Amino acid sequence: MAFHVRGVLLPEDEERDLWLVGDRVTFSPVEGAETIADRGYVLPGLVDAHCHIGIAPGGGPVEGIAQAKELAATDRDSGVLAIRDCGSPYPYPQLDDDPDVPRLARAGQHVAPPKRYLRDIGVEVGAPDVPGEIAAQARAGNGWVKLVGDWIDRSVGDLAPAWDAATLEAAVRAAQAAGARITAHTFSEEAVAVLVRAGIDCLEHGTGLSIDLIGEMARRGTALVPTMINIATFGDIAARAEGKFPEYARHMRALGDGFPAVVRAAYEAGVPLFVGTDAGGGISHGVIADEMLCLHEEAGLAPLDVLRAASWGAREWLGFPGLVEGGLADLVVYAEDPRRDLRVVRAPQRMVLRGRVIR
């Protein structure tokens, strides 16, 4: 079965015809193809660059593969046709080629320090075991490794690095030696500085980034996935922690309040930014439009740059070719121009995943 699509292709901004044959895109006419869209704005399928389909709503691992698929379907129905799974306590390599599931770039399980991180999520290891565990999780994933770079240390009463600087640096080297890209959760100021200078590939959140480090990321091409809708919950986290950990609460509030300016500085410096929701646990699936609008409204990204960060730019970064000859047959069609009004991304009119029409 072949499909025909006509519309204004982004980012090229040209009205064109394209055909989908199986899981491939072609610009050569295919006789007998069924026309599934003849107007509108056509983009490569969206990417949620920070998502956890292995973490159940409320926290903890999913009950099984069916629940992971259900969560992925919620993301898919919002136009997300590829996911970078940023750590999963439940392994599901069999979903990599599942026709119903968005394409997956997967880290294995989060590598976290002992007895500090979210319960039942990370594989928790002491400093000497970090490089070995990173190598193991690189084998469990399909190209990425996820490190927990900092978290609350209840004995200190504030955020603190997960391990010493030498261990964080060794983690970066171990992942890259294993042929994987490595990213890290960071909220605070200390671990993020060590990781950027060690040559980490990407940062999640990055609330503790300084202007100096943003410059260093831009020079190195280190990516940032801000997850602004997650950081917007810092006030609630602080309120719950206030009684027992007042210094942590103050720190979280300050990091949350300063974050739009951090993302704006990273954008202006040319740091590669990608759209991630951090769905799973406390954040709902299917909310990529909220994160896209947040990047525009709170951090000042132009609509075209938000679209790049959520679509063709993210696909190129993860190795999922877009709407080029021989590219992958994933696309979304919007009735109106999302560059003129980004709210259009809330309502995809047509979606094709892996060559199959899903809306």
Nearer to Zn ion, 101 or 147 (CB): 147
Nearer to Zn ion, 51 or 217 (CB): 51
Decide: 63 and 56 in contact? Cβ < 8 Å: yes
Read off φ and ψ for residue 268, nearest 5 degrees: -70, -30
Nearer to Zn ion, 25 or 188 (CB): 188
CB of 135 to Zn ion, least distance (A): 22
Strands 2-9 and 41-44: what pairing? parallel
Q: How many chain residues interact with Zn ion (CB under 5 A)?
A: 2
Is residue 330 within the footprint of Zn ion (CB under 5 A)? Answer: no
Judged by CB under 5 A, the stretch of 100-108, 239-247, 272-280, 351-359 that binds Zn ion is 272-280
Residue type, 259: F
Judged by CB under 5 A, the stretch of 34-42, 244-252, 270-278, 316-324 that binds Zn ion is 270-278
CB of 277 to Zn ion, least distance (A): 9
Nearer to Zn ion, 5 or 162 (CB): 162
Binding mask 157-196 for Zn ion (x = CB under 5 A): ----------------------------------------
CB of 185 to Zn ion, least distance (A): 7
CB of 317 to Zn ion, least distance (A): 18
Q: Which residue is nearest to Zn ion (CB)?
A: 278
CB of 187 to Zn ion, least distance (A): 11
Which residues contact residue 30 at a Cβ distance below 8 angstroms, ignoring those fewer than 6 apart? 2, 4, 19, 21
CB of 230 to Zn ion, least distance (A): 7
Judged by CB under 5 A, the stretch of 40-48, 70-78, 241-249, 277-285 that binds Zn ion is 277-285
Nearer to Zn ion, 36 or 232 (CB): 232
Binding mask 82-101 for Zn ion (x = CB under 5 A): ----x---------------
b/e code 278-305 from CB counts within 10 Å (16+ = b): bbbbebebbbbbbbbbbbbebbebebee
CB of 50 to Zn ion, least distance (A): 6
Nearer to Zn ion, 86 or 104 (CB): 86
CB of 39 to Zn ion, least distance (A): 38
- Per CB under 5 A, contacts with Zn ion among 27-86 are 86
Nearer to Zn ion, 237 or 333 (CB): 237
Nearer to Zn ion, 44 or 122 (CB): 122
Nearer to Zn ion, 54 or 260 (CB): 54
Is residue 278 within the footprint of Zn ion (CB under 5 A)? Answer: yes
Decide: 281 and 263 in contact? Cβ < 8 Å: no
CB of 52 to Zn ion, least distance (A): 6
CA dist., res. 24 & res. 44, Å (int): 12
The residue with tokens 């999520």 is 121
What does the binding site for Zn ion look like in residue numbers (CB under 5 A)? 86, 278
